[in-house]
Amino acid sequence: MKYAKRMEKVKASAIRSSQKKIAAKVANGGSVISFAAGLPDPNLYPMEELKDATMKVFEKNGKEAVAYGLSKGDNRLLKLLAKRMQEKENMDVDAENLLVVTGSQQGIAFSAMIFLDKDDIVIAENPSYLGAINAFRPYEPQFLGVDTDEDGIVVEHLDKILSENPNVKMIYVIPSFQNPSGKTWTTERRKAFMEVVNKYDDIVVIEDNPYGEIRFKGEPTPTLKSLDTKGNVVYLGSMSKVLTPGLRVAWVVADKEVVDKMELIKEGADLQCNQFAQNQVAEYLENYDLDAHIEEIRAAYKNRCELMMKTIKEYFPEGVKYTDPDGGMFIWVELPEGIDANEMLDDAIEAGVAYVSGEFFYANEGKKNTIRLNYTTMSEEQIVEGIKILAKVIENKMK
Instruction: Considering the complex, state which of residue 170 and residue 390 has its C-beta at the smaller distance from a copy of itself.
Output: 170
Q: Closest distance between a copy of itself and the C-beta of residue 58, in Å?
A: 5
Report the residue number, 60 or 310, with the smaller CB distance to a copy of itself. 60
Strands of the sheet with 330-334, listed across from one edge: 321-322, 330-334, 370-374, 356-357
Nearest residue to 129 via CA among 232, 223, 40, 13 = 13
Q: Which helix (H) or strand (E) holds 145?
A: strand 142-146
CB of 97 to a copy of itself, least distance (A): 14
Q: Least distance (Å) from a copy of itself to the CB of residue 124?
A: 15
3-state DSSP call for residue 399? coil
CA atoms of 117 and 320, how far apart (whole Å)? 41
Q: What are phi and psi of 205, to 5 degrees?
A: -105, 125
* CA dist., res. 310 & res. 298, Å (int): 18
Pick between residue 119 and residue 314 the one whose CB is nearest to a copy of itself: 119
Please compute, for residue 57, the number of CA atoms within 13 A of its CA located in the half-sphere on the CB side. 24
Min dist CB 279 to a copy of itself, Å, is 9
Closer residue to a copy of itself in complex, CB, 232/357 = 232
Any bridge partners for residue 99, and if so which?
Answer: 252
Q: Which is nearer to a copy of itself, 141 or 325 (CB)?
A: 141
Spatial distance between the Cα atoms of 163 and 200, rounded to a whole number of angstroms: 9
Q: How far apart are CA 21 and CA 232, in angstroms?
A: 41
Min separation Cβ 304 and a copy of itself, Å: 18
| 8 Å CB contact between 293 and 243 | yes
Q: Closest separation between CB of residue 98 and a copy of itself, Å?
A: 17
Question: Which is nearer to a copy of itself, 69 or 325 (by Cβ)?
Answer: 69
Residue 393: its H or E element: helix 380-398
- Choice between 272 and 311, CB closer to a copy of itself: 272
Q: Which residues of 378-399 are buried (b: 16+ CB within 10 A; e: fewer)?
A: beeebbbbbbebbbbbbeebee
Query: Least distance in Å: CB of 328 to a copy of itself?
Result: 17
Instruction: Quote the least distance from Cβ 127 to a copy of itself, whole Å.
Output: 18
Nearest approach in angstroms of CB 240 to a copy of itself is: 8
In whole angstroms, what is the distance from residue 70 CA to residue 82 CA? 17
H or E stretch including 311?
A: helix 290-315
Least separation in angstroms between residue 24's CB and a copy of itself is 16
- Of residues 101 and 394, the one with the C-beta less far from a copy of itself: 101
In the complex, the smallest distance separating the C-beta of residue 323 from a copy of itself, rounded to whole angstroms, is 24
Nearer to a copy of itself, 219 or 257 (CB): 257
Spell out a b/e string for 227-254, using b for 16 or more CB atoms within 10 Å of the CB, else e.
bbeeebbbbbbbbbbbbbbebbbbbbbb
Nearer to a copy of itself (CB atom), residue 55 or residue 299: 55
For residue 127, say if its preceding peptide bond is cis, omega within 30 degrees of 0. Answer: yes
When the beta carbons of 46 and 152 are compared against a copy of itself, the nearer one is 46
Dihedral angle, C-alpha 219, 377, 250, 234, nearest 10 °: 50
